[in-house]
Each structure stands twice: as C-alpha cells, then as structure tokens.
Amino acid sequence: MSDPRMADMGDMPFDGKRMIMGGFDSIVEEGSPGGSYTDGFVVPLPEGKRDNYRELASKMAKLFREYGASRVVEAIGDDVQHGKVTDFYRAVKAEPGETVVFSFIEWPDKATRDDAWKKIMEDERAKPTGEMPFDGKRMFWGGFDKFADTADARTAVNA
C-alpha cells in the first residue's frame, strides 16, 4: 500500500470496504493456467476435516481435468482476516473451529464448462461416498468470464 503507484490509480471503480481478500495455502493443484472461463467457490471447513477435504478435492480435480478443465486449484485459508464490513468467514457463515476453502476451476471456455458439468453430474465417480467434509448448504460459487489477462496486468503495473 506504500507503493506510490497506488496513488496514481485514482478513484477505485468499486467499494474497497466491501472487497474480500485473504491468503490461502494450495492443497491441490492440477493442470496448467489457461482458459477464458472460471468457476470459483468458497466453503466452510471444520478444522478436523482437512485431510478428508484434501482427499475429496484431489479425486474431483482429476475428474474435472478428465472432462476438459485446464486447471483446478483448492486452497485452505492461511491468512484470512476478519473484515470490518465483510469477509470470507461471513460469506460462508463460518462457525467457531472452521476455516475457509477457496477453489477455482479454469476451463478453456464456457461451452466446455457447461458440457463438462452435465457429464460430471451424471458420472457415478462424482457421487459422494460417506459424509461430506463440509456443509454444502453454506457454499457459494459462481462462473466468471475472464476480462483481464494477468500477463497484460503485470505489464501495465511494471510500465
């Protein structure tokens, strides 16, 4: 925040007080960056269920890749602060003893993603076996079109 280039950015096009940010430790990463469409999701995770979650995430990552995902990343909260206005914890109604998981799946395009999700939902390997390691009712997710390339953004910042 002390970088003078921040002052040159002028007024932000969003309300920074409502921005949610945090640091996460990657526990599963399959594939290579790329694609124009991303599914992102956040879930609450009880502290004692990390290994169960990692096992499930690893299994599902392979399935997503099989159906065309470019990359799958699953990451557990490592430096996630409680915000004054909002934060990841509030977003998933995290309870005492829970952390948050932030994950994303990169797809070549939305059509590939839409086709893959239909197949994944019908695939017996995707069906849960046993107890889920997180409360899916408190998960939130969404699909996102890429509108800025990180290579272009790095070039602009370094210019």
Q: What is the CATH number of the domain that holds 35?
A: 3.30.70.100
Give the span between the Cα atoms of 51 and 42, in whole angstroms. Answer: 17
**pLDDT of 149 over the 90 cut:** no
Give the span between the Cα atoms of 49 and 20, in whole angstroms. Answer: 24
The answer to whether residues 29 and 71 touch, using CB atoms and an 8 Å cutoff, is: yes
In a domain, 55, yes or no: yes
In a domain, 154, yes or no: no
Strand partners, 76: 25, 101
Confidence of residue 21 (pLDDT cuts 50, 70, 90): confident
In a domain, 10, yes or no: no
In a domain, 3, yes or no: no
- Tens digit of pLDDT for each residue in 110-128? 999 999 999 999 999 999 8
The answer to whether residues 140 and 88 touch, using CB atoms and an 8 Å cutoff, is: no
Q: For the whole model, what pTM was predicted?
A: 0.84
In a domain, 56, yes or no: yes
CB atoms within 10 A of CB 118: 11
- Tens digit of pLDDT for each residue in 122-145? 999 999 888 999 999 999 999 999
- Tens digit of pLDDT for each residue in 67-87? 999 999 999 999 999 988 889
Compute CA distances 122 → 77, 114, 117, whole Å. Answer: 31, 13, 9
In a domain, 157, yes or no: no
Give the span between the Cα atoms of 104 and 141, in whole angstroms. Answer: 9
Nearest to 36 by CA among 157, 154, 152, 143: 143
Confidence of residue 158 (pLDDT cuts 50, 70, 90): very low
Confidence of residue 157 (pLDDT cuts 50, 70, 90): very low
In a domain, 4, yes or no: no
Over range 1-23, report the average pLDDT: 76
Give the span between the Cα atoms of 103 and 41, in whole angstroms. Answer: 5
Domain enclosing residue 73, as ranges? 21-146
Overall number of domains in the chain: 1
With tokens 């009880």, the residue in question is 46
In a domain, 9, yes or no: no
20: which residues sit within 8 A by CB, 6+ positions away?
83, 86, 87, 88, 91
